[in-house]
C-alpha cells in the first residue's frame, strides 16, 4: 500500500479548496461586472442611437452602415481604455438570429444591441492561490512537526517511567519481572527465604558487606526465619527449619541460577539484585562481598510478605 505523507494530502486539499473558492469568487465578480457594464453600454447607445443612420425598412431607408460601424469602433476603443469586459458587436433595427441581444426603444422603433462579453479569468491572480497553499503547507509542517515531537517526548517519557521491577511472589514461590510473568523461576524454601533476607538486609544496611569467610549476620538470619515462617502460614509444605548458615555457596548458586534467566534482559536490575560472584585469586577474601548494593524500593516487590 502506498504511504502518502499527511503534508502532501493536506497541501493538495488546501490547493483544491482555495482554487475552487477563488474560481467561484472570480466567476461571481465577472458576472456582476458584465451585467453592470452591459447596462452602462446600453444606456450610452440609447443616448446616441437617435443620431445614428440606422436602416429603417418600414420607410425604405437603407441607412449608413459604414457610419454605424465607425461609431461602434470608436465606442469599443473607449471601452478598451476603461478595461471594460463588454464590447459592442452590432447595432441594428433588424432582429438578429441565434444571438443574445438587448432591445432599445427610441423614436418609435426598436433597436437591437448585440454585445460581446469577455468572461475569461485573470490567470496571474491564481498565483495568490499557490502562495496561500505554500504558506499553509509551511504552517502545517511546523505544527505537524511540533505535534510529532510532542508525541515522541511523551512516548520517551512513558518508556523512561516504566522501569523493570523484580517480583518475588511468596504465594507461588516464584520470581519474575513485572509485566513479563511468562518467564519465571522458582526457588526452594531455603534459597527463597535467604534471598529475601539478603534483599531486606542489604536495603536496610547498604554499607555492610557480606563475606563468605565470615558468619552470616544475625539480623539477616532473623529476616530469613521470618520469611520461612511466612511460607508455612501461606500453606506451603515445610518439612523442617533449615540452617541458613550452612552450605552458603550452594544457596547462593541456586539463587543465581534462578536469576540468570529472568534478569538476562535487565542488566541494570541484575547489577543490583544479582549476588556478586567471586573472581580471581583470594576469592574468599575480605574484598569479596555477596551482598546487594544500591537497592531502591522501585527495584523489587515482595508479594505476600
Largest CA distance in the chain: 143
Which range in 101-115, 240-254, 267-281 is most confidently predicted, on average pLDDT?
A: 240-254
**Tally of structural domains, the chain:** 2
115 and 207, same domain (yes or no):
no
Cα 220 vs. chain centroid, distance in angstroms?
Answer: 54
Same domain, 172 and 276: yes
Clarify whether residues 170 and 263 are in a common domain: yes
The mean pLDDT value for 127-139 works out to: 75
Instruction: Tell me the per-residue pLDDT of 77-125, one tens digit each, with 9 for 90 and over.
Output: 999 998 899 999 888 888 888 788 888 887 677 888 889 888 888 777 7
216 within some domain:
yes
Q: Is the pTM of this model over 0.85?
A: no
For residues 120 and 179, the model is more confident at 120
Whether 268 and 173 map to the same domain: the answer is yes
Q: What is the pLDDT of residue 81?
A: 92
Instruction: Kindly state the percentage of the chain with pLDDT values over 70.
Output: 87
Read off the pLDDT of each residue in 231-238 and give the average, rounded to a whole number.
84
DSSP states along 1-46: -----HHHHHHHHHHHHHHHHHHHHHHHHHHHHHHHHHHHHHHHHH
Residue with cell 513485572: 178
**Domain interval for residue 201:** 166-303
* Same domain? 82 vs 176: no
pLDDT, mean of residues 39-44 = 90
Q: What pLDDT, on a 0 to 100 scale, did the predictor assign at position 197? A: 92
Pick the more confident residue, 188 or 158.
188
- Across the chain, mean pLDDT equals 82
Confidence of residue 36 (pLDDT cuts 50, 70, 90): very high
Mean pLDDT score, 267-275: 88
Q: Do residues 186 and 111 share a domain?
A: no
Query: Is the pLDDT at 2 greater than 50, yes or no?
Result: no
Q: Please give the average per-residue pLDDT across 231-247, as a whole number.
A: 84
Residue with cell 529472568: 262
Q: Are residues 85 and 171 in the same domain?
A: no
Question: Does residue 217 sit in the same domain as residue 298?
Answer: yes
The predicted model gives 144-162 an average pLDDT of 63
* Domain-embedded: residue 147: no
The answer as to whether 146 is a domain residue is no
Tell me, yes or no, whether 141 lies in a domain.
no
Would residue 95 count as lying in a domain?
yes
What are the cell numbers at 2?
502506498
Is residue 130 situated within a structural domain?
A: no
- Reported as a pLDDT band with limits 50, 70 and 90, residue 279 is low
Q: Which of 70, 93, 124 is the last residue of a domain?
A: 124
DSSP letters spanning 184-225: EEE--HHHHHHHHHHHHHHHH-TT----TTSPPPHHHHHHHH
Residue 135 lies in a domain: no
Residue 293 has pLDDT above 80, yes or no: yes
For residue 285, pLDDT over 60 is answered with: no
Would you state the pLDDT for residue 199?
Answer: 92
276 and 173 housed in the same domain? yes
HSE (CB half, 13 Å, CA atoms) of 30?
13
Question: Given 91, 124, 157, which residue is the final one in a domain?
Answer: 124
Query: Is the domain of 106 the same as that of 229?
Result: no
Flag whether 270 is in a domain: yes
The domain boundary residue, chosen from 124, 146, 176? 124
Residues 192 and 95 in one domain: no
For residues 105 and 183, state if they share a domain: no
Amino acid at each position: 500500500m502506498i504511504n502518502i505523507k499527511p503534508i502532501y494530502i493536506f497541501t493538495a486539499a488546501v490547493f483544491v479548496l482555495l482554487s475552487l473558492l477563488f474560481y467561484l469568487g472570480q466567476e461571481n465578480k465577472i458576472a456582476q461586472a458584465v451585467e453592470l457594464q452591459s447596462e452602462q453600454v446600453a444606456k450610452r447607445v440609447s443616448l446616441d442611437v437617435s443620431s445614428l443612420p440606422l436602416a429603417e425598412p418600414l420607410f425604405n431607408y437603407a441607412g449608413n452602415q459604414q457610419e454605424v460601424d465607425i461609431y461602434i469602433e470608436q465606442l469599443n476603443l473607449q471601452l478598451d481604455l476603461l478595461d471594460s469586459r463588454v464590447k459592442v458587436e452590432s447595432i441594428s433595427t433588424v432582429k438578429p438570429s441565434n444571438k443574445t441581444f438587448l432591445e432599445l426603444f427610441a423614436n418609435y422603433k426598436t433597436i437591437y444591441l448585440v454585445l460581446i462579453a469577455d468572461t475569461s479569468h485573470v490567470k496571474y491572480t491564481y498565483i495568490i492561490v499557490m502562495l496561500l497553499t505554500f504558506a499553509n503547507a509551511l504552517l502545517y509542517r511546523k505544527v505537524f512537526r511540533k505535534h510529532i515531537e510532542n508525541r515522541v517526548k511523551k512516548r520517551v517519557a512513558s518508556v523512561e517511567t516504566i522501569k523493570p521491577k523484580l517480583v518475588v511472589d511468596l504465594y507461588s514461590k516464584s520470581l519474575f519481572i513485572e509485566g513479563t510473568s511468562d518467564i519465571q523461576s522458582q526457588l526452594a524454601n531455603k534459597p527463597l527465604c535467604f534471598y529475601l533476607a539478603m534483599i531486606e538486609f542489604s536495603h536496610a544496611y547498604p554499607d555492610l558487606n557480606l563475606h563468605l569467610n565470615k558468619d552470616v549476620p544475625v539480623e539477616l538470619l532473623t529476616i530469613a526465619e521470618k520469611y520461612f515462617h511466612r511460607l508455612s502460614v501461606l500453606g506451603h509444605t515445610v518439612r523442617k527449619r533449615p540452617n541458613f548458615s550452612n552450605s552458603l555457596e550452594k544457596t547462593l548458586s541456586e539463587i543465581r541460577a534462578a536469576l540468570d534467566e529472568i534478569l538476562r534482559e535487565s542488566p541494570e536490575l541484575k547489577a543490583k539484585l544479582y549476588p556478586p560472584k567471586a573472581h580471581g585469586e583470594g576469592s574468599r577474601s575480605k574484598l569479596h562481598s555477596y551482598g546487594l548494593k544500591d537497592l531502591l524500593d522501585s527495584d523489587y516487590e515482595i508479594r505476600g510478605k
